Chain A
């Protein structure tokens, strides 16, 4: 039997991996040589988290073709569950990198479960309705963590909602304190961990997209009725993409949270969801390299504009508009296309 070659974009994927590795090596060298400003150094981990967020959202928006406005909700689940895991394992697992890895996996697992539960009602909807319901779920997750109390003592874990009724025994400690979130976090997140997270995210997404299942997911995006008529299990494949996307966002959230000493639910609100969506739209739907560049550039930009303090958000907004106009300008587009095909021709000539 002839094997179907599901992948068409291997070259671009290799380039994406290559550029991420290159960026990591260059930044490490700069850091070692003392050429990096402390403000940039402090941003490396959030950049990694946002890059992973953007790639994972691109799976839902670009590959599955469904507009999700609640992606920060999954980041939140990952942040709280991952950080709680790290705190609970503080003594049991002394090695910080191992504890971080376990916490990221736990963050991803919890986010996957939440993604599955949300996916059941959400994936039945289409278009605008789906977008609005994901927005609502993002807000619900925020409210839950704002009202969640989690404590641990010699009797085990205690959970309560709305008010602190954990009644911890002597020597117990509160991990999640409702609107106060989690405090006193050990900052075990590292740039290298962030780099590994991005690489893992890319491997997961590229392998899914280039698999048989990935072809099915894109077929559903392309034409739902045709996909149904060839016997694809629509719900299954949509769920596969949605849950994968949620799990990756959960890991990103866990990494993000463990870069700070406190984490609160309000950090992962609608604005964060929109911010990540902006990365995806600017970088191009389905274009993972674009997401990476957009997430990194737009996370650095507000910091770089710090000198202009009062005007910073204005300048940021104007740059966004200009980039959108420029990338959607037909003249510029055709010029870029010609440039690209010109280069390809030159390559073929060699």
Chain B
């Protein structure tokens, strides 16, 4: 298989804090790969570094054979790598539809077709297309953030804790949508604290602890691994 995204030996610092300590992993075409770990393990830092918002002192990040090292964050989206940041960052003062239109800012394709496609994944958004972002529920805001990222026609989409703070029923709905996206061929890098849910849908997973990858394997392998059961699955 061919790796669309390849992270090699990156080190990221916040001032004197060494947040990411030389990690390497890869995401292959069409896969769901998950990065799990406790709060503060460095999951968001990893995604933000890939998206160009933070810099690595060492190593390289390859996306479709191209080194992203020196490329500015705003140019990375149009290359087909989209990030849905942690914490449902939507434009609170714009309507649902306007939020989606903003997502297509770097994509000059057929807007209407793309919007309909997003509404196909998220029927709840279609019902609320005129509603102001700030008045949506937490789950709907998460869906809108994901839908907006899809509007840039990404080849790889990175999701930072999409289930954070959502009721179990909504977590299930979000993960169903992630699987739908996967089935239609989107490559996904999923960051989660909810190890059970993430490993159930993932092809492969990596476990991050204080800035280092301590374990990796297929989703099923990791779900069955005793150290994972103990540390992340509550038994």
B94-116 vs A, Cβ < 8 Å mask (1 yes, 0 no): 10000001110110111110000
Residues A1 and B111 in contact in the complex (CB < 8 Å), given A226-B89, A229-B51 = yes
Interface hits, B63-83 → A, CB 8 Å: 72-78, 82-83
Interface hits, A213-232 → B, CB 8 Å: 215-216, 218-219, 222-223, 225-232
Residues B72 and A233 in contact, CB atoms below 8 Å apart: yes
Chain B residues contacting A230 (CB-CB under 8 Å) are: 77, 102-103, 105-106, 148-149, 151-152
Closest to B106 in A: A231
- Tell me the bound Cα distance from A219 to B105 in angstroms: 11
A-B contact pairs, 27 of them (CB 8 A): A1-B110, A2-B110, A4-B111, A216-B105, A218-B93, A219-B94, A222-B93, A223-B91, A226-B91, A226-B148, A227-B91, A228-B53, A228-B74, A229-B77, A229-B82, A229-B83, A229-B85, A229-B149, A230-B77, A230-B102, A230-B103, A230-B149, A231-B74, A231-B75, A231-B152, A232-B74, A233-B74
B92 in the interface (beta carbon within 8 A): yes
B191 in the interface (beta carbon within 8 A): no
Chain A residues contacting B83 (CB-CB under 8 Å) are: 229
Chain B residues contacting A228 (CB-CB under 8 Å) are: 53, 73-74
Known: A226-B85, A230-B149, A231-B106. 11 other contacts (CB 8 A): A1-B108, A222-B92, A223-B90, A223-B91, A226-B89, A226-B145, A230-B103, A230-B151, A230-B152, A231-B77, A232-B105
Chain A residues contacting B106 (CB-CB under 8 Å) are: 230-231
Residues A234 and B91 in contact, CB atoms below 8 Å apart: no
Q: How large is the interface on B (under 10, 10 to 19, 20 to 34, 35 or more residues)?
A: 20 to 34
Chain A residues contacting B152 (CB-CB under 8 Å) are: 230-231
Q: Which 4 A-B residue pairings sit nearest by Cβ, starting from the closest?
A: A231-B77, A226-B89, A233-B74, A231-B106
Q: State how many residues of chain A have any CB contact under 8 Å with chain B.
A: 20
- Tell me the bound Cα distance from A28 to B75 in angstroms: 52
Residues A234 and B89 in contact in the complex (CB < 8 Å), given A2-B110, A4-B111, A215-B102 = no
Chain B residues contacting A218 (CB-CB under 8 Å) are: 93
CB distance from A220 to the nearest CB of B (A): 10
CB distance from B161 to the nearest CB of A (A): 14
Chain B residues contacting A226 (CB-CB under 8 Å) are: 85, 89-91, 145, 148
- Tell me the bound Cα distance from A244 to B173 in angstroms: 46
Closest to A216 in B: B105
- Interface centre among A215, A218, A228, by most chain B C-beta atoms within 10 angstroms, is A228
Chain A residues contacting B91 (CB-CB under 8 Å) are: 219, 222-223, 226-227
CB distance from B98 to the nearest CB of A (A): 8
CB distance from A285 to the nearest CB of B (A): 12
Chain A residues contacting B53 (CB-CB under 8 Å) are: 228
B84 in the interface (beta carbon within 8 A): yes
- Tell me the bound Cα distance from A216 to B102 in angstroms: 8
Interface hits, A1-33 → B, CB 8 Å: 1-2, 4
Question: Per a CB cutoff under 8 Å, which of A1, A4, A223, A225 touches B101?
Answer: A4
Chain A residues contacting B109 (CB-CB under 8 Å) are: 1
- Tell me the bound Cα distance from A219 to B145 in angstroms: 14
- Tell me the bound Cα distance from A228 to B73 in angstroms: 8
- Tell me the bound Cα distance from A223 to B88 in angstroms: 11
Closest to B86 in A: A225
Chain B residues contacting A222 (CB-CB under 8 Å) are: 91-94
- Tell me the bound Cα distance from A234 to B84 in angstroms: 17
CB distance from A340 to the nearest CB of B (A): 18
Closest to B51 in A: A229
Chain A residues contacting B145 (CB-CB under 8 Å) are: 226
- Tell me the bound Cα distance from A231 to B108 in angstroms: 13
- Tell me the bound Cα distance from A4 to B108 in angstroms: 11
- Tell me the bound Cα distance from A255 to B92 in angstroms: 39
Chain A residues contacting B75 (CB-CB under 8 Å) are: 231
Closest to B103 in A: A230
B198-232 vs A, Cβ < 8 Å mask (1 yes, 0 no): 00000000000000000000000000000000000
- Interface centre among B72, B83, B89, B92, by most chain A C-beta atoms within 10 angstroms, is B89
Chain B residues contacting A225 (CB-CB under 8 Å) are: 85, 89
Residues A223 and B89 in contact in the complex (CB < 8 Å), given A2-B112, A229-B83 = yes
